[in-house]
Amino acid sequence: MDHRLLEIIACPLCHGKLSYDKENFELICKLDRLAFPVRDGIPVLLENESRALPSEENK
Protein backbone atom coordinates (compact mmCIF):
# COMPACT_ATOMS: atom_id res chain seq x y z
CA MET A 1 0.00 0.00 0.00
CA ASP A 2 1.09 3.55 -0.65
CA HIS A 3 2.91 4.92 2.36
CA ARG A 4 1.79 8.46 1.55
CA LEU A 5 -1.77 7.26 1.87
CA LEU A 6 -0.96 5.84 5.29
CA GLU A 7 0.16 9.29 6.42
CA ILE A 8 -3.10 11.02 5.56
CA ILE A 9 -5.63 8.45 6.68
CA ALA A 10 -6.79 8.26 10.26
CA CYS A 11 -9.01 6.14 12.43
CA PRO A 12 -12.67 7.14 11.86
CA LEU A 13 -13.36 6.79 15.57
CA CYS A 14 -10.48 8.42 17.42
CA HIS A 15 -8.81 10.15 14.43
CA GLY A 16 -5.53 8.64 15.54
CA LYS A 17 -2.82 7.26 13.31
CA LEU A 18 -3.21 3.80 11.87
CA SER A 19 -0.49 1.26 11.36
CA TYR A 20 -0.48 -1.12 8.44
CA ASP A 21 -0.35 -4.84 9.06
CA LYS A 22 1.27 -6.19 5.89
CA GLU A 23 0.63 -9.81 6.81
CA ASN A 24 -3.11 -9.47 7.24
CA PHE A 25 -3.72 -6.48 4.91
CA GLU A 26 -5.33 -4.54 7.70
CA LEU A 27 -4.98 -1.10 9.19
CA ILE A 28 -4.65 -1.23 12.94
CA CYS A 29 -5.87 1.33 15.45
CA LYS A 30 -4.04 0.52 18.64
CA LEU A 31 -6.18 2.82 20.75
CA ASP A 32 -9.50 1.29 19.72
CA ARG A 33 -8.03 -2.18 19.12
CA LEU A 34 -9.72 -2.33 15.76
CA ALA A 35 -8.47 -3.66 12.46
CA PHE A 36 -9.79 -2.14 9.26
CA PRO A 37 -9.56 -4.19 6.07
CA VAL A 38 -7.65 -3.10 2.98
CA ARG A 39 -9.36 -4.33 -0.16
CA ASP A 40 -7.55 -4.07 -3.50
CA GLY A 41 -5.27 -1.46 -1.95
CA ILE A 42 -8.19 0.64 -0.74
CA PRO A 43 -8.52 1.10 3.03
CA VAL A 44 -12.06 0.46 4.24
CA LEU A 45 -12.31 2.83 7.17
CA LEU A 46 -15.76 1.92 8.36
CA GLU A 47 -16.51 0.92 11.91
CA ASN A 48 -18.95 -1.77 10.85
CA GLU A 49 -16.33 -3.30 8.52
CA SER A 50 -13.66 -3.47 11.18
CA ARG A 51 -12.92 -6.30 13.52
CA ALA A 52 -11.97 -6.12 17.16
CA LEU A 53 -8.46 -7.25 17.96
CA PRO A 54 -7.81 -9.65 20.80
CA SER A 55 -5.43 -8.18 23.33
CA GLU A 56 -2.64 -10.60 22.38
CA GLU A 57 -2.66 -9.22 18.84
CA ASN A 58 -2.31 -5.70 20.10
CA LYS A 59 1.31 -5.15 19.14
Residues that bind Zn ion (CB under 5 A): 11, 13-14, 16, 29, 31-32
Query: How far apart are CB 52 and Zn ion at their closest, in Å?
Result: 12
Strand partners, 28: 19, 35
Size of the chain, expressed as the number of residues it contains:
59
Query: How far apart are CB 28 and Zn ion at their closest, in Å?
Result: 9
For Zn ion, the closer CB: 5 or 9? 9
Query: How far apart are CB 36 and Zn ion at their closest, in Å?
Result: 9
Could you write out the DSSP letters of every residue in 11-48? -TTT--B-EEETTTTEEEETTTTEEEEEETTEE---GG
